[in-house]
């Protein structure tokens, strides 16, 4: 099993550009999450999906949108990237109420 | 919403000594407290977790204690080894099918040989 996978690994954008971060899991997990990690601030929840067909805002949702494409895939979209969105983005998944497993991360730089 | 504070931000210990990292949380409804280890450039990985119906949990050299009244929980690593060097994050969440984890800011642990 690959676990949680993310693409791309690295991305550089110019201010105003858009992009979609992809996440997939092969563990048959119900719940999926998107976090961002900034230096000295730990991880902060952007959006989550408790189950296929549902999405909810987390702590820092502004500037992002998500799509739970199916049970396996959960994408994060930046419509108009800003330098403040420079960060490392982690996707995670879990069974209901259980341990969250993280993907390898996407390092995004917005110039 | 929930707020989690973590101390210290950096911690250096000699190999073989113990390390203790402390976290406090604000929401008394929180009932799940995981600890994650993140090595440089890698993903966070769960090392131990505790639920609010338990006061202490051990797994080999790692233990976590929880004081619900004071709203704080701690990670204890005994007989530290160089491979324990990493950033450690505590987190808290309330019950739910999807746990919305609120993370502390992390502790950089360095084990000196």
CB contact under 8 A, B105 and A42: yes
Taking residue A84's Cβ as centre, other Cβ atoms within 10 Å add up to 10
CB contact under 8 A, A40 and B105: yes
Mean pLDDT of A43-62: 94
To the nearest whole Å, the CA of B96 is away from the closest chain A CA by 6
Residues 6+ apart with CB under 8 A from B41: none
The span from the CA of B76 to the CA of B59, in Å, is: 10
Q: What is the pLDDT of residue B86?
A: 97
- Residues A22-41 have pLDDT tens digits of 999 999 999 999 999 998 77
Q: What is the pLDDT of residue B97?
A: 62
Q: Closest Cα to residue A52, out of A23, A24, A72, A76?
A: A72
- The mean of the pLDDT values for chain B is 94
Q: What is the pLDDT of residue A7?
A: 97
Task: State whether residue A83 is helix, strand or coil.
Answer: helix
């Amino acid at each position: 099993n690959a676990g949680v996978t993310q693409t791309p690994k690295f991305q550089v954008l110019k201010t105003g550009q858009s992009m979609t971060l992809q996440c997939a899991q092969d563990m048959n997990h119900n719940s999926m999450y998107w976090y961002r990690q900034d230096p000295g601030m730990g991880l902060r929840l952007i959006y989550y999906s408790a189950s296929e067909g549902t999405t909810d805002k987390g702590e820092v949702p502004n500037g992002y949108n998500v799509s739970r494409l199916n049970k396996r895939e959960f994408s994060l979209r930046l419509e108009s990237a800003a330098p403040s969105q420079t960060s490392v983005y982690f996707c995670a998944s879990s069974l209901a109420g259980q341990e969250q497993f993280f993907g390898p991360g996407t390092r995004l730089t917005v110039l | 919403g929930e707020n989690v504070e973590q101390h210290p931000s950096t911690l250096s210990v000699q190999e073989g000594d113990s390390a203790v990292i402390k976290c406090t949380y604000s929401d008394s409804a929180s009932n799940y407290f995981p600890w994650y280890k993140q090595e440089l450039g890698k993903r966070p990985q769960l090392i131990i977790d505790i639920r609010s119906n338990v006061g202490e949990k051990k797994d080999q050299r790692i233990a976590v204690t929880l004081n619900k009244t004071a709203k704080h929980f701690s990670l204890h690593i005994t007989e530290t080894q160089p491979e324990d060097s990493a950033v450690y994050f505590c987190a808290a969440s309330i019950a739910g099918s999807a746990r919305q984890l609120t993370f502390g800011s992390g502790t950089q642990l360095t084990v000196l040989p």
